[in-house]
Chains A and B, each alone.
Chain A
Amino acid sequence: MSAKSQAKWGEKGFAKSDASIDVSVNFCGIKLRNPLVLASGIVDTTASSLIFAIENCAGAVTCKSISLEPRKGHGSPIIVTNESGMLNAVGLSNPGLNSSIEEIKDAKKRLSQHKNKELRNAAIIGNVFATSIEDFAKAAKEISKSGCEMLELNLSCPNVKDEFGEPFACNPILAAELTKAVKKALKEVEKETEKNLKMPILVKLAPNVPDIAKIAKAVEAAGADGITAINTMPGMMLDLKTGKPILTNKSGGFSGPNLKPIAVKCIYDIYKSVKIPILGTGGVTTGKDAIELMMAGASAVGVGTAVYYRGIDCFKKINDEIVEWMKENNISSLKEIIGKAHR
Chain B
Amino acid sequence: MKKDGKCEKQECKCSRIVELADPFPMHMLKIEKIEQENSNVKSFYFRHKLNSQPGQFVMVWLPGNGEKPMSIARDYGDSFQLAIASVGNVSNKLCCAKVGDFVGIRGPLGTYFSLTDDKAKLVKSIALVGGGYGAGPMASLAELAIKKGLKPANIHYIVGARTKDLLLFHKRLEGIGVNVHITTDDGSFGAKGRVIDVLNKVVTDAKKNKIKIDKIYTVGPELMMKAVYDVAMRENIDCEISLERYMKCGIGVCGSCIVDPTGERMCIEGPIIGKEKIKQITEFGKYHRDATGNKVKY
**A-B pairs with beta carbons under 8 A, tally:** 160
Q: What 0/1 readout, one digit per residue, does chain B (263-298) give for beta carbons within 8 Å of chain A?
A: 111001000000000000000000001111111000
Q: Tell me the chain B residues, 18-39 only, with Cβ under 8 Å from chain A.
A: 18, 20-26, 28
Does residue A27 face the partner (Cβ distance < 8 Å to B)? no
Is A45 a contact of B63 with CB atoms below 8 Å?
no
| Assembled-state Cα–Cα distance A287/B18 (Å) | 10
Interface residue? B75 (CB, 8 A): no
A309 touching B292 in the complex, CB below 8 Å, given contacts A43-B253, A242-B64:
no
Whether B68 is near chain A, meaning CB under 8 Å from some CB there, is: yes
Q: Give chain A interface residues in 275-322, CB to chain B under 8 Å.
A: 285-288, 305, 307-312, 317, 321
User: CB of B61 within 8 A of chain A?
Assistant: yes
Determine whether the beta carbon of B293 is less than 8 Å from that of A88: no
Question: Is the CB of B256 closer than 8 A to any CB of chain A?
Answer: yes
Provide the bound-state CA to CA distance between A19 and B64, in Å: 55
Give the contacts of A241-300 with B (CB-CB under 8 A).
Answer: 241-242, 244, 246, 248, 257, 285-288
Shortest C-beta distance, A101 to chain B (Å), equals 13
Q: A68-81, CB under 8 A of B: which get 1 and which 0?
A: 00111101111111
Chain A minimum-CB-distance residue to B261 = A48
Chain B residues lying within 8 Å of A246, measured Cβ to Cβ, are: 26, 61, 63, 104
- Residues of B in contact (CB 8 Å), total 47
B208 close to chain A: CB less than 8 A = no
Residue A96 interfacial (CB < 8 Å)? yes
| A83 adjacent to B104 (CB under 8 Å) | no
B249–A73 touching, CB < 8 Å: no
Chain B 227-252: CB-based contact to A (< 8 A → 1; otherwise 0): 00000000000000000000011011
Shortest CB distance B56–A (Å): 17
B248 surroundings in chain A (CB, below 8 A): 73, 76, 78-79, 90, 93
In the complex the two chains form, is A48's CB within 8 Å of B66's CB? no
Interface residue from A45, A110, A308 paired with B251 (Cβ < 8 Å): A308
Contact of B293 among A93, A309, A321 (CB under 8 A): A93
In this complex, how many residues of chain A approach chain B with their Cβ under 8 Å: the count is: 60
* B171 CB–A CB distance under 8 Å: no
User: Shortest Cβ distance from B287 into chain A, in angstroms?
Assistant: 12
Residues of B within 8 A of A321 (CB): 15-16, 18
Q: Which residues of A contact B99 (CB under 8 A)?
A: none
- A332 at the A/B interface (Cβ < 8 Å)? no
**In angstroms, how far is the closest chain A Cβ from the Cβ of B62?**
10
Find A80's partner among B26, B254, B262 (CB 8 Å cutoff). B26
Q: Is the CB of A88 within 8 A of B15?
A: no
| Contact (Cβ within 8 A) A45 B20 | no
The one of A46, A77, A286, A308 that contacts B67, using a Cβ cutoff of 8 Å: A77
Which of A45, A50, A76 has the most CB atoms of chain B within a 10 A radius of its CB? Answer: A76
**Contacting pair B22 A81 (CB below 8 A):** yes
Chain B interface mostly: loop
Q: Known contacts A48-B260, A49-B258, A242-B64: does B294 contact A96 (CB below 8 Å)?
A: yes
| Measured CA separation A55–B251 after assembly (Å) | 20
Nearest B-chain residue to A70, judged by Cβ: B292
| Docked-complex contact B22 and A82, CB < 8 angstroms | yes
The smallest C-beta distance from A170 to any residue of chain B, in angstroms, reads 26
Is A94 in contact with chain B by the CB < 8 A criterion? Answer: yes
Bound CA–CA A155/B86 (angstroms): 40
A81 & B25 in contact (Cβ 8 Å cutoff): yes
A79 touches B252 (CB 8 A): no
Cα(A88)–Cα(B252), bound, Å: 13
A238 to B268, CA, bound (A): 26
Is B102 on the interface with A (CB-CB < 8 A)?
A: yes
Closest to B247 in A: A76
Cβ–Cβ contact A308 & B252, under 8 A? yes
The answer to whether B253 touches A93 (Cβ under 8 A) is no
**In the assembly, what is the distance between CA of A70 and CA of B291, in Å?**
9
Contact of A45 among B13, B24, B59, B258 (CB under 8 A): B258
B255 interfacial by beta-carbon distance below 8 Å: yes
Whether B256 and A93, one on each chain, are in contact in the complex, defined by CB atoms closer than 8 angstroms, is yes
Residues of A within 8 A of B142 (CB): none
Expressed in whole angstroms, the Cα–Cα distance for A328 and B7 within the complex equals: 14
Please measure, in the bound complex, the distance between the C-alpha atom of A287 and the C-alpha atom of B294, giving whole angstroms.
35
**Residue pair A241, B252 in contact (C-beta under 8 Å):** no
Asked if residues A77 and B294 are in contact (CB atoms below 8 Å), the reply is no
Cα distance, A310 to B24, chains bound together (Å): 12
Q: Which residue of B4, B20, B260, B292 is within 8 Å of A71 (Cβ)?
A: B292
Given contacts A241-B63, A257-B20, contact A42 B15 (CB under 8 A): no
A317–B24 contact, CB under 8 A?
Answer: no
Q: Is B259 an interface residue (CB 8 A)?
A: yes
Contact with B along A3-14 (1 / 0, CB 8 A): 000000000000
Q: Give the B-binding residues of A (Cβ under 8 A).
A: 42-53, 55, 64, 70-73, 75-83, 86, 88, 90, 93-96, 99, 110, 239-242, 244, 246, 248, 257, 285-288, 305, 307-312, 317, 321, 324-325, 328
Enumerate 24 A-B pairs (CB-CB under 8 Å) in ascending A order.
A42-B255, A46-B255, A48-B260, A48-B262, A49-B258, A49-B263, A51-B263, A70-B292, A76-B249, A79-B248, A80-B26, A81-B24, A95-B293, A95-B294, A96-B292, A239-B63, A239-B104, A241-B102, A248-B67, A305-B253, A307-B252, A312-B252, A312-B268, A328-B15
Binding site for A on B (CB under 8 A): 2, 4, 13, 15-16, 18, 20-26, 28, 59, 61, 63-64, 66-68, 102, 104, 248-249, 251-256, 258-265, 268, 289-295
- Which 3 residue pairs are nearest across A and B when measured between Cβ atoms? A52-B263, A48-B263, A43-B255
